Structure 1
Amino acid sequence: MLFNAVTSLTGGLALFLFGMHMISGGLQKAASRQVQYILGRVTKNRVYGMLAGLLVTIFLQTSAVTTVLLVSFVNAGLMSLGQALGVILGAAIGSTLTAQLIAFRLSDYALWAVVVGLIPYLFSQRFRWRHLGEALIGFGLIFYGAAVMGEAAIPLRSMPGFIHLLDHLASHPWLMTIVATLFTAFVQVSAATVVVAMTLAAQGVLPLYGALAVVLGANLGTTATALISSLALSREAKRVAVAHFLFKLGGVIIFLTFLRLYTWLAQATSPDIARQVANGHTLFNVINMLIFLPFTTWVGQLTIKLLPDAPEEEKVAKYLDPSVVEVPEIALANVSRELLRMANIIKQEMFPRVMRPLAEREVDLLLKLKRLDNILDYLYQAIARYLVRIPEENLGEDQLISKIKLLYIANDLEHIGDVLVEMAHQWQKIEASGVEFSPEGQAELQEMFKKVQENFVGAMEAFAANDEVAAAQIIRRRPEILRLEKDLRCSHFQRLQQENRFSLETTSVHMELINQFLRLNMHSVSIAEAVMGII
């Protein structure tokens, strides 16, 4: 009996989580532009920001996704910390809709939602309808998963050991909250934890105050998603995730302190205990919003104190001192140092990552390279603005040429970052196909990439030393790279003639990577030409 109950509970939970994933993914893909437009346009006022967060999260069905979007917007400079905080509070309210829908017990229509969603998902010729069909399938799966969990919980009422465990946890609400927090951080969907609490309460194995302690833990645990996603991002993005955590933590402490009053309020909303749990989830987030919305500015200041600007923050122009723009020698030297810093990011953090075999590749490589490319884009813009500020009347002829050289090199470095991100896109296609390059093809690509990488390092060393002889050597190597490119294409086509399965399935990516290698080398040659004054 216990095995069957556990199997049904975990299976129902798995269906629920997969359904939430399909809803969020489908709706994001169907209306990503509209979501970004709403978040970007109505967040200057904290109340409008809260309403925007509420609307977007009702649509996406998960506050974690909305918060992660906010983290990425702040990281990219599209939104300030202050604008994001109000949206977070609204997003928390929007996330309660899932539990409210489950409380309506729509499980009788769950499989019909799957059937109706499957039609556009399989047969529509428009991507938007396919994505909406995917979301509808997701809705069906969450209702069906909730129903499976409800059926599985019935035998638990006759298991004294399980009842005793829940009674013990419920008698220690702080412990119950911690357990629910850890569970939610693991599954990364707070609605799943709330639905489990609703199911157990509906079957009489968990009292209302214990279920509400689970709800509080679910709300706190959902902050883990944004905290994790912000680890590799800017200090400002980390502050958004920390503010999200502080809002939830403050609310959980307040509600646990007044748990009896909270239980009474939830109980007064409905005679049905499952509905009471769902309403308790909504009450927590609405009251929490009312408490903290007036203090978003203060919370923002607190996060700045907790995470002050780091002197080594990458997305900062470290050497572009505006106080010396009137002194061309120092200003141009500052730009050179910033360019070498850009090159170092490419050399140490991007090049070594992008051509690793699949087995050695990092998780979320594309996301990490995009973050680094955003830093390069930012530094390029900062350098361009800085160079423009250097008065031309203060520049001699040689300095004027140096200014143009530096702008050319900055542009090439920024483009190299773009190419490496595009290469990661190509690798993502290989990952999705589940087929690796042929061993011969992999070795040939690595050989060409190594030579291209060496040329980049050589070009930047020539720039650092202002060595025209070394720069000329990079330029003279260009025909060698062109010959190697022809040889690699020929070898790949020969493998295709032999109907090599790996070569057949990876041919488009193989050819595209060779093209990207040529682009990388072209920019290295361009840098060498700039060193020699060929501009």
Structure 2
Amino acid sequence: MNGSVVLLHLAGAVALLLWATRMVRTGVERTYGSELRQRLRSVVKRPVLAVSFGAALAIALQSSTAVTLLVGSFVGSGFVGGVTGLMAVRGAEVGSALVVKILNYDLTLLVPICILAGTIIFMTTERRDWRQNGRILVGIGLLILSLEMIGQATEPLRHSQLLPVIVSYLSSDPITAYLLAALVTWLFHSSIAAVILLTSFASRGFIQPELGLVMVLGVNLGSSIIAPILTRNAPPKTRVVPLGNLLMRGAGSLVALLLFLTFQPPLSLLGSTSVDQIVNAHILFNVLILLAGIPLSGLVLRATEALVSLNTPQGEQQPLAAQEVSALDPSVLDTPSLALANATREVVRVCETVELMLQRIMDLYEKPDQARIKELAALDDRVDRRHAAIKLYLSRLATSNLSDYEALRTQELLGACVKLEQVGDIIVRNMLAQVRKKMNRKVEFTEEGWRELSQFHAFVLANARLAFNVLISRDEHTARQLVQEKDRLRDMEKDTSQRHFSRLREGSERSIETSTIHLDTIRDLKQINSLLTSMAYPVLEEQGLLRDSRLRMARK
């Protein structure tokens, strides 16, 4: 087998590894993402719990970068302190390192089990959460399969004449090896994939443990660069945690490299095989950075904030409703297809604004803030302006000679825009009023009550995203799923109300104080869900799947 074919097989195996990791991560985010965010936001306020939950979340998401971005957003929103955020990220890095350890065990039997079970679950149910669980199982199966493929793809390299030359050069030039590993990790956007590739080479004797350790340190440098690059255009406060992680982990990897090259400690203490030595070195490094971060996090935070401040031009921080650009070009009204495309783009922007409002409102329930309340109200003004402009634009288009589909699409966009404007009104006029009431009365939900509200809100937010997808894709399957989710929400509302009334009967003082706010919020969220679900009706009516406002049995 020639070198090009070997590299092609290896590239395919690595691509499958990255894809499988993404499948697992997106499946977890779609099924448990909102709940995990709520849990993280509650525990991340305590450093010890933040470390442990950060590690667990990194294992679940198969990515420490995802946790870093999530924690960074919490710090940027003011829900979490910078030091605690850094500690949560430190835990995430340890969790990501433990994933590599787990994947180095012999898990081949799980490949057919996970793929078969995941496929059966995904194909035999319409429930979104079950389908995502099936997706997770298939992703795990493909992840383990990709490890086998990497091993098989690297096997022919035993006979390569070029590889020993490259390895020999890298062994004699550790700085180049360190930087190369950092570059590869950044390209992969995954430290897990990079370390697994190293262990595959080490298991076949292609690289020695000393070179493997140097490259593991480079992997940690490359992994710490990813989040700062992804957040380079984010608000300054959001950039603090990713940049702080770069200072701690990136600088720590460089210090560790210099110490290793200077003292050349024996690697036999890390394990009996080269693979164990590389994996354990990866874990040990992140544990040491975690321990060093306990006394140094405050200093790192101050240094990071100073760096962010230096790189933030005056006037960079703008209010949420600062600038607007319209896609409604009046010059193309004589071409209905182009005009409808423009109107669709503008409605998508309204969808994005409404989604942002729906996300932020629960943050205000948890931590009311007058400045953020005004920002959210400003977003509703943006929705109103865009709604008026779209309505006028489509009204002018309706006077043109439209085909049946174009006329139907015009009415569909008008209806969706009206519903989005109504959702914005509910958030600002009803739910913000509840936020102010909670803030003025200085009352707090019970832990159980807040968990129920958060789960109900997460369900509605997920349905909102489905509704926006239906508006753009007009996909029959997604539209049917959205209407089915409405029935699940109705059952959830009944359960939530029953549990709330049960707490009232038990005389819970906090439940009594927040009863009106709790019930009115559930009512508002349910109304928002109904409005968004109705955006799927035109698609279902066109397919003949609606009858007397009820969803017909799906066609097989």
TM-score category, normalised to shorter length: 0.5 to 0.7
> Closer, same or farther in 2 for the Cα pair 1:68/1:206, shift >3 Å?
same
Q: Aligned ranges for residues 47-446 of structure 1 at < 5 Å?
A: 47-259=48-260, 266-308=267-309, 310=312, 312-315=314-317, 345-347=322-324, 350-351=325-326, 385=370, 413-418=378-383
Answer yes or no: is the 8 Å Cα contact 1:118–1:137 preserved in 2. Answer: yes
* Structure 2: distance between partners of 1:49 and 1:376: 22
Q: CA RMSD, aligned part only?
A: 4.3
> Closer, same or farther in 2 for the Cα pair 1:514/1:289, shift >3 Å?
closer
Equivalent position of 2:28 in the other structure? 27
How far residue 231 of structure 1 moved from its aligned partner, in angstroms, is 1.8
- SS of residue paired to 2:234: coil
> Closer, same or farther in 2 for the Cα pair 1:86/1:509, shift >3 Å?
farther
Answer yes or no: is the 8 Å Cα contact 1:75–1:233 preserved in 2. Answer: no
Equivalent position of 1:452 in the other structure? 389
How far residue 374 of structure 1 moved from its aligned partner, in angstroms, is 11
1:510 aligned partner, one-letter code: L
> Closer, same or farther in 2 for the Cα pair 1:101/1:176, shift >3 Å?
same
Q: Deviations over 1:34-89 (max 9, x none)?
A: 31123211223322221221121122221011011112222333323222111010
> Closer, same or farther in 2 for the Cα pair 1:375/1:23, shift >3 Å?
closer
Matched, 1:510 2:447: no
Answer yes or no: is the 8 Å Cα contact 1:177–1:213 preserved in 2. Answer: yes
Answer yes or no: is the 8 Å Cα contact 1:157–1:163 preserved in 2. Answer: no
1:16 aligned partner, one-letter code: L
Equivalent position of 2:403 in the other structure? 495
> Closer, same or farther in 2 for the Cα pair 1:305/1:372, shift >3 Å?
farther
How far residue 385 of structure 1 moved from its aligned partner, in angstroms, is 4.7
* Structure 2: distance between partners of 1:490 and 1:54: 59
Answer yes or no: is the 8 Å Cα contact 1:419–1:519 preserved in 2. Answer: no
- SS of residue paired to 1:27: helix
> Closer, same or farther in 2 for the Cα pair 1:41/1:75, shift >3 Å?
same
> Closer, same or farther in 2 for the Cα pair 1:5/1:53, shift >3 Å?
same
How far residue 91 of structure 1 moved from its aligned partner, in angstroms, is 0.4
Answer yes or no: is the 8 Å Cα contact 1:150–1:199 preserved in 2. Answer: yes
How far residue 194 of structure 1 moved from its aligned partner, in angstroms, is 0.3
- SS of residue paired to 1:107: coil
2:150 aligned partner, one-letter code: M
* Structure 1: distance between partners of 2:195 and 2:181: 9
> Closer, same or farther in 2 for the Cα pair 1:97/1:261, shift >3 Å?
farther
Answer yes or no: is the 8 Å Cα contact 1:227–1:242 preserved in 2. Answer: yes
2:403 aligned partner, one-letter code: R
* Structure 2: distance between partners of 1:139 and 1:221: 24
Percent identity over the alignment is: 23
How far residue 275 of structure 1 moved from its aligned partner, in angstroms, is 2.5
* Structure 1: distance between partners of 2:263 and 2:69: 29
Q: Deviations over 1:415-443 (max 9, x none)?
A: 034569xx9xxxxxxxxxxxxxxxxxxxx
Answer yes or no: is the 8 Å Cα contact 1:81–1:240 preserved in 2. Answer: yes
Q: Aligned ranges for residues 456-475 of structure 1 at < 5 Å?
A: none
Answer yes or no: is the 8 Å Cα contact 2:394–2:414 preserved in 1. Answer: no
* Structure 2: distance between partners of 1:205 and 1:4: 18
- SS of residue paired to 1:216: helix
Equivalent position of 2:12 in the other structure? 11
88-97 vs 115-124, which moves further: 115-124
How far residue 245 of structure 1 moved from its aligned partner, in angstroms, is 0.5
- SS of residue paired to 2:206: coil
How far residue 7 of structure 1 moved from its aligned partner, in angstroms, is 1.4
How far residue 155 of structure 1 moved from its aligned partner, in angstroms, is 1.3
Calculate the TM-score normalised by the size of structure 1: 0.66
How far residue 15 of structure 1 moved from its aligned partner, in angstroms, is 0.6
Answer yes or no: is the 8 Å Cα contact 1:27–1:131 preserved in 2. Answer: yes
* Structure 2: distance between partners of 1:11 and 1:175: 25
Calculate the TM-score normalised by the size of structure 2: 0.64
Structure 2, gaps ≥5 residues long: 330-338, 426-556
How far residue 17 of structure 1 moved from its aligned partner, in angstroms, is 0.2
Q: Deviations over 1:182-204 (max 9, x none)?
A: 11111101111101100111111
Q: Deviations over 1:169-219 (max 9, x none)?
A: 122222111111111111101111101100111111111111122211221
Answer yes or no: is the 8 Å Cα contact 1:346–1:417 preserved in 2. Answer: no
Q: Deviations over 1:371-405 (max 9, x none)?
A: 9979999xx99xx958x9xxxxxxxxxxxxxxxxx
- SS of residue paired to 1:206: coil
1:20 aligned partner, one-letter code: T
* Structure 2: distance between partners of 1:233 and 1:375: 17
> Closer, same or farther in 2 for the Cα pair 1:225/1:198, shift >3 Å?
same
> Closer, same or farther in 2 for the Cα pair 1:34/1:202, shift >3 Å?
same
How far residue 110 of structure 1 moved from its aligned partner, in angstroms, is 1.9
Answer yes or no: is the 8 Å Cα contact 2:394–2:410 preserved in 1. Answer: no
How far residue 370 of structure 1 moved from its aligned partner, in angstroms, is 8.8
Equivalent position of 2:444 in the other structure? none
* Structure 2: distance between partners of 1:280 and 1:260: 15
Answer yes or no: is the 8 Å Cα contact 2:20–2:143 preserved in 1. Answer: yes
* Structure 2: distance between partners of 1:198 and 1:411: 49
> Closer, same or farther in 2 for the Cα pair 1:41/1:417, shift >3 Å?
same
How far residue 281 of structure 1 moved from its aligned partner, in angstroms, is 1.4
2:413 aligned partner, one-letter code: H
Answer yes or no: is the 8 Å Cα contact 1:85–1:244 preserved in 2. Answer: yes
1:122 aligned partner, one-letter code: M
Equivalent position of 1:44 in the other structure? 45
**Higher alpha-carbon Rg:** 1
- SS of residue paired to 2:323: helix
> Closer, same or farther in 2 for the Cα pair 1:233/1:101, shift >3 Å?
same
* Structure 1: distance between partners of 2:85 and 2:121: 35
* Structure 2: distance between partners of 1:250 and 1:22: 32
1:256 aligned partner, one-letter code: L
Answer yes or no: is the 8 Å Cα contact 1:181–1:219 preserved in 2. Answer: yes
Q: Deviations over 1:5-34 (max 9, x none)?
A: 111110110110001101111111121133
> Closer, same or farther in 2 for the Cα pair 1:495/1:191, shift >3 Å?
same
- SS of residue paired to 2:216: helix
Answer yes or no: is the 8 Å Cα contact 1:13–1:192 preserved in 2. Answer: yes
How far residue 487 of structure 1 moved from its aligned partner, in angstroms, is 5.4
* Structure 2: distance between partners of 1:136 and 1:164: 41
> Closer, same or farther in 2 for the Cα pair 1:305/1:514, shift >3 Å?
closer
1:414 aligned partner, one-letter code: L
> Closer, same or farther in 2 for the Cα pair 1:117/1:346, shift >3 Å?
same
How far residue 111 of structure 1 moved from its aligned partner, in angstroms, is 3.3
* Structure 1: distance between partners of 2:179 and 2:352: 31
How far residue 312 of structure 1 moved from its aligned partner, in angstroms, is 3.0
How far residue 98 of structure 1 moved from its aligned partner, in angstroms, is 2.4
